A and B are shown apart, each in its own frame.
Chain A
Amino acid sequence: MWPLIKAELSYQRPFLVTGVGAILAILIFLWFSPVLFFVPEIPFPRRISITFWFLFWVSFVILMNTAFPPQGIHRREYRNRLLALLPVPLWQLGILRFLLLISAWAALIVIFLLFLLCAGDWDLFWGGPTWPQMLVSLSGAFLTGSAYVVFMTDLQTVFPKGKKFLRLPWQPLLNSFIVLSTVAYFLAVCYLILQSSPGVKLSIRILVPLVAFMAQSWDGATVFVLTGTGMALASVLTFQLRRSFLE
């Protein structure tokens, strides 16, 4: 399986470098803006809040890109059609698919934790009310979401007509949403950081009900992670049950 992982990472290198570069730029701005850009320091709770929403947004984009691979801009590559022909057991391809999907998220979390460490806010974070739990919950939710997306993709090979329903007309709308939300996020972050705190308060007031849905206890986080792990294992199984690898 290692040659496959190596090949895929090497193949995706330009995108990974660009993506990680952009994420790093945003995190640097969030965590070191007072030092680097001579702007007022954002209080730690707000910084964490913005970062969490950023992580949430990135995870959403990753999942949407997986569920609805971009078409038109790039040639669709039908990776399964290529890989399924190789003399590699199917279960390994199932694991590979999942590992590649969550690798971007894992890298993001590692980067975030490094920033915490570098910014000297490690104790604030771990000693905070529910932030570690929320981070684990978010990771568990991403794990669950990823497994759900690949699970649904597998299911479409059993019910091919469903695929058509999912692709049209939702895909162009979702792609537009991803592009617009990217721009909006950048603008919002810049505005919130450089201007004033009322905007932050307003956004928090709007977002609090959503945040409330996220688990803020270790029990909740554990449930997220266990559900995600279970679904990930199930997705390796559903990959092996696919009727077709033409997509």
Chain B
Amino acid sequence: MTNAFQINRMVKSYPGFQLGPLDLALEPGKIMGYVGVNGAGKTTTMYCLVGLVRADAGDVRIFDRPNDLNRPAWKLDVGYVGDQHVFYERWTAEENLNFLARFYPSWSVGKAQDLARRLRLPLEKRARDLSTGNRVKLALISALAHSAKLLLLDEPTAGLDPVVRLEVLDELMEVIQDEERAIFYSTHILADIKRLVDDLVFLDQGRIILRSAKDDLVEKWRTITFYSDRTIGAVEAAVQIRHEGRAHQVISSDHEATLAHLRALEVEIRELHYLPIEEIAVQIIKGGSHVAADQS
């Protein structure tokens, strides 16, 4: 099966920071969340994928074609919304879309107009006069109107106020669920995409610390409350332990291992709760490779 993208041993270095060596692949039709704190290397990964920045080593393939900038047919399959939205500023939104349409044979004017209507984007306004939210919408339409098979979204809602962010996200969710496409969505706010993603990749200081199916994470992680008169030391797979008198609460990255350990200690287990995926993500990011290692 041809992957939507395949990154092999990719390295990109800046003074004081190195991304990689990175190995990552996204299967067609899958939606992958790329999660990490600011500065983890998410945007650099995106830049390398779309060719805005050249990697120092390794290779990147989009639908099995190298992302060679002199053989750009692979770009026809890619829609990208970056961290900055670049347009011809004195042109209207519509003129910008018309300009892009000339380069994509599969561009649909009808679809672009439909998206603009759904997102309530004023097409007649000049790009420089658009609000930040509307610039994001224009960038999204630019990425979606040619029915790209791979959508690369780099924190598209960053910098938006909460109301506009939710509005854009709701529309985006609806729009991208209409068609089958691979989506690589980078964010540090997992709440934005928790409804969408199949897989999650966690990035920390330029390295992938964990890749897992979202459902597997939700299934494995639990909050366990138990009572014990004894002092409780280290607990198997515990990411965090809180003590309050006899009551102890453990956040476990592998509840079966934790429960087995606790049963061996003959403690009284009272409650077992699922953890929301955003809380799991926070724990993984906070714990870094130490926590992530328990997941593999």
A163 within 8 A of partner (CB): no
Interface size class of A (residues with CB under 8 A): 20 to 34
Encode contact with B along A228-247: 1 for CB under 8 Å, 0 otherwise.
00000000000010111110
Are the CB atoms of A243 and B104 closer together than 8 Å?
Answer: no
Q: Interface centre among A74, A85, A86, by most B CB within 10 Å?
A: A85
* Residues of chain A in range 1-22 having any CB-CB distance to chain B below 8 Å: 3, 7, 11, 14
A209 within 8 A of partner (CB): no
Q: What separation, in Å, do the CA atoms of A243 and B52 have in the docked complex?
A: 8
Q: Interface centre among B72, B87, B102, by most A CB within 10 Å?
A: B72
Are the CB atoms of B103 and A87 closer together than 8 Å?
Answer: yes
Residue of A nearest to B102 (CB): A3
Q: Give the chain A neighbours of B71 by CB distance below 8 A.
A: 89
Q: What separation, in Å, do the CA atoms of A38 and B82 have in the docked complex?
A: 60
Q: What separation, in Å, do the CA atoms of A245 and B51 have in the docked complex?
A: 8
A167 within 8 A of partner (CB): no
B243 within 8 A of partner (CB): no
Are the CB atoms of A87 and B73 closer together than 8 Å?
Answer: yes
Q: A75-B128, A244-B53, A246-B53 are in contact. Are A85 and B70 (CB under 8 A)?
A: no
Name which of A76-84, A118-126, A178-186 contacts chain B. Answer: A76-84
Q: Give the chain B neighbours of A82 by CB distance below 8 A.
A: 86-88
Q: What separation, in Å, do the CA atoms of A31 and B208 have in the docked complex?
A: 69
Q: Interface centre among A11, A240, A242, by most B CB within 10 Å?
A: A11
Q: Give the chain B neighbours of A81 by CB distance below 8 A.
A: 52, 82, 84, 86
* Residues of chain B in range 77-112 having any CB-CB distance to chain A below 8 Å: 80, 82, 84, 86-91, 99-100, 102-104
Of B70, B86, B90, the contact of A89 (CB 8 Å cutoff): B70
Residue of A nearest to B73 (CB): A87
In the assembled complex, how far is the CB of residue B45 from the closest CB belonging to chain A, in whole angstroms? 14
Q: Interface centre among A81, A82, A86, A87, by most B CB within 10 Å?
A: A87
* Residues of chain A in range 69-102 having any CB-CB distance to chain B below 8 Å: 74-75, 77-79, 81-82, 84-91
Q: What separation, in Å, do the CA atoms of A178 and B73 have in the docked complex?
A: 42
Q: Give the chain A neighbours of B51 by CB distance below 8 A.
A: 84-85, 245
Are the CB atoms of A243 and B53 closer together than 8 Å?
Answer: yes
Q: What separation, in Å, do the CA atoms of A33 and B286 have in the docked complex?
A: 76
Of A14, A75, A243, the contact of B54 (CB 8 Å cutoff): A243
In the assembled complex, how far is the CB of residue B142 from the closest CB belonging to chain A, in whole angstroms? 9
Interface size class of B (residues with CB under 8 A): 20 to 34
Are the CB atoms of A245 and B52 closer together than 8 Å?
Answer: yes
Q: A3-B103, A246-B47 are in contact. Are A85 and B75 (CB under 8 A)?
A: yes
Are the CB atoms of A75 and B89 closer together than 8 Å?
Answer: yes
Q: What separation, in Å, do the CA atoms of A163 and B271 have in the docked complex?
A: 59
In the assembled complex, how far is the CB of residue B190 from the closest CB belonging to chain A, in whole angstroms? 27
Are the CB atoms of B50 and A85 closer together than 8 Å?
Answer: yes
Residue of A nearest to B51 (CB): A84
Are the CB atoms of B69 and A240 closer together than 8 Å?
Answer: yes
Q: Give the chain B neighbours of A14 by CB distance below 8 A.
A: 90
B277 within 8 A of partner (CB): no
* Residues of chain A in range 210-235 having any CB-CB distance to chain B below 8 Å: none
Q: Give the chain B neighbours of A3 by CB distance below 8 A.
A: 99, 102-103
Show the binding face of A for B, using Cβ within 8 Å: 3, 7, 11, 14, 74-75, 77-79, 81-82, 84-91, 240, 242-246
- 8 closest A-B pairs by CB: A87-B75, A90-B69, A82-B86, A87-B72, A3-B102, A89-B70, A81-B86, A244-B53
| A–B Cβ pairs within 8 angstroms, 20 of them | A3-B103, A7-B102, A14-B90, A77-B86, A78-B84, A78-B86, A81-B82, A81-B86, A82-B87, A85-B52, A86-B75, A87-B73, A87-B76, A87-B103, A89-B71, A90-B70, A90-B72, A91-B70, A244-B47, A246-B52
